[in-house]
Chains A and B, each alone.
Chain A
Amino acid sequence: MVIYGVYIVSKSGGLIFNYECNVPKIETEKTFGYPLDLKLNYENKKIVVEFGQRDGVMVGHVLTAVNGIPATGRQLDDGRDVFDIINERENYPLSLKFARLRMTTNEKIFLASMFYPLFAIASQLSPEPRCSGIEVLEADTFKLQCFQTLTGVKFMVVAEPTQAGLDILLRRIYELYSDFALKNPFYSLEMPIRCELFDSNLQNLLEHVEKTGISNVRLTST
């Protein structure tokens, strides 16, 4: 029973809430000799491993530090350029730290608003009238389940691909939203949800689900 994240997208397609959990932090630090047997490439303001994965350093991982000095973009914190260091023989042996980076909030907002038209297109593409749009999106490493309320708010959970019963969990999250976000007079509709009560209740729910399984989630209506 693993849930990776919960997302709420407002009626107009903006991400108003996201919660990540159970995403393992992957970091590898290794000492390399000259010449470097990894192909590194600078893209999207990050130095990414492009080819040659070994010892836990995977393609797609990002270089975060050189000799313990953190790197931002292609620049080290002391102002030197990472590629200058890597290409100089006398700097070796070099200790490089690689990590799998998490999505930034901006990227999440971007992806959430990307899902919105996909959902609408899906309901248009359908050969039958009255298609619900995307309810489940499955991939080899995760499953995304989406529940749209009558008012147009979308609730999404990302979980393990084998996870069943996510629809019940989504209904429960909807109840939490209607209780702890909407009944909070200081929460304005369509704005990002920053309500501690909502956060903590959601966390409790997810912990409960993790321990005892989705079948024990109780809806107030049934």
Chain B
Amino acid sequence: MSRQGTRLDTKNVNSELFTLTYGALVSQLMKDYTNVEDVNKQLERMGYNIGIRLIEDFLARTGSGRCYDFRDTADKIQMGFRIFLGVTPTITNWSSAGDEFSLQFESNPLTEFIELPDHCLNLKYANVLTGVLRGACEMVQMEVTSWFAQDQLKGDTVTELRVKFVKRLEDAIPAGPYTPSSRAVSEQLTNSVCVLEIASSS
């Protein structure tokens, strides 16, 4: 895989172990929930919890700055896939407004040995990825949604993950070089005054 640096190369594991672990997770969820929709939801939630942590790893390792353009974001998401999954999806199908694009996977390490049985055709097997994207982008103050538009497991020729920009979370942007408005800062100040009051009263 293409993780850079010497320290982490030693930690690279065979992706098969990962594929199998993820498979075990999904099949356990299928046992625990009778409804396939619930499994999809759980996978997304797990992904979200992974994403809000994984983003720090990505930022610390790549040292990348803030995105001011969704195309920038697309490139960085692509880089993220290369770092963490060892695959480089192609970025295609830009919407004319530039707020939606697709990630096309020739192969997806998550689904390497998978054939979906008939009773779970509604299962979005790799739905954890949509959660990861949502969590990671939320931590850098961007709201996105994503869904699988095509899936090789369902007979499509490629797997296509569609990503849509919803909005910037202006209020959550920390004070600093990127602060868009003074409103956000004054709100943060009010928050921190509350923190101070709590600290001094204790």
Chain A positions within 8 Å of B, measured between CB atoms, are 11-14, 106, 109-110, 113-114, 116-117, 119-121, 123-124, 130-133, 148-153, 171, 174-175, 177-179, 182-183, 189, 218-222
Chain B: CB-nearest residue to A112: B199
Decide: A152 near B57, CB < 8 A? Known: A110-B196, A120-B188, A171-B63: no
B residues 10-58 near A (Cβ < 8 Å) are 52-57
Checking B52, B62, B172 against A189 with a beta-carbon cut-off of 8 angstroms, the contacting residue is B52
Contacts of A153 in B (CB 8 A): 56
Chain A: CB-nearest residue to B138: A151
- Cβ-based interface call for B4 (8 A): yes
- Cβ-based interface call for B195 (8 A): yes
Checking A12, A123, A179 against B191 with a beta-carbon cut-off of 8 angstroms, the contacting residue is A12
Checking A123, A150, A189, A219 against B179 with a beta-carbon cut-off of 8 angstroms, the contacting residue is A123
- Please determine whether A179 and B57 come into contact, CB atoms closer than 8 angstroms: yes
What's the interface size class on B, roughly?
A: 35 or more
- Cβ-based interface call for B59 (8 A): yes
- Please determine whether A171 and B196 come into contact, CB atoms closer than 8 angstroms: no
- Cβ-based interface call for B61 (8 A): yes
Contacts of B202 in A (CB 8 A): 106
- Please determine whether B176 and A148 come into contact, CB atoms closer than 8 angstroms: yes
Contacts of A114 in B (CB 8 A): 196
Chain B: CB-nearest residue to A15: B199
Number of A-B residue pairs at CB separation under 8 A: 114
Cα distance A158–B166 in the bound complex, in angstroms: 40
Cα distance A174–B139 in the bound complex, in angstroms: 15
Ordered by A's residue number, 21 sampled pairs between the chains whose C-beta atoms are within 8 Å are A13-B192, A110-B196, A110-B199, A117-B189, A119-B175, A123-B175, A124-B185, A130-B177, A131-B177, A132-B176, A150-B140, A151-B174, A153-B56, A171-B63, A175-B60, A175-B61, A178-B57, A179-B57, A220-B5, A221-B4, A221-B63
Contacts of A179 in B (CB 8 A): 57
- Please determine whether A12 and B61 come into contact, CB atoms closer than 8 angstroms: no
Contacts of B52 in A (CB 8 A): 189
Chain A: CB-nearest residue to B188: A120
User: Contacts A110-B199, A182-B53 given; 17 further ones with Cβ under 8 A?
Assistant: A113-B196, A116-B195, A117-B189, A119-B176, A120-B189, A123-B176, A123-B177, A123-B179, A131-B176, A132-B176, A133-B176, A149-B60, A150-B178, A175-B61, A177-B56, A220-B8, A221-B62
- Cβ-based interface call for B65 (8 A): yes
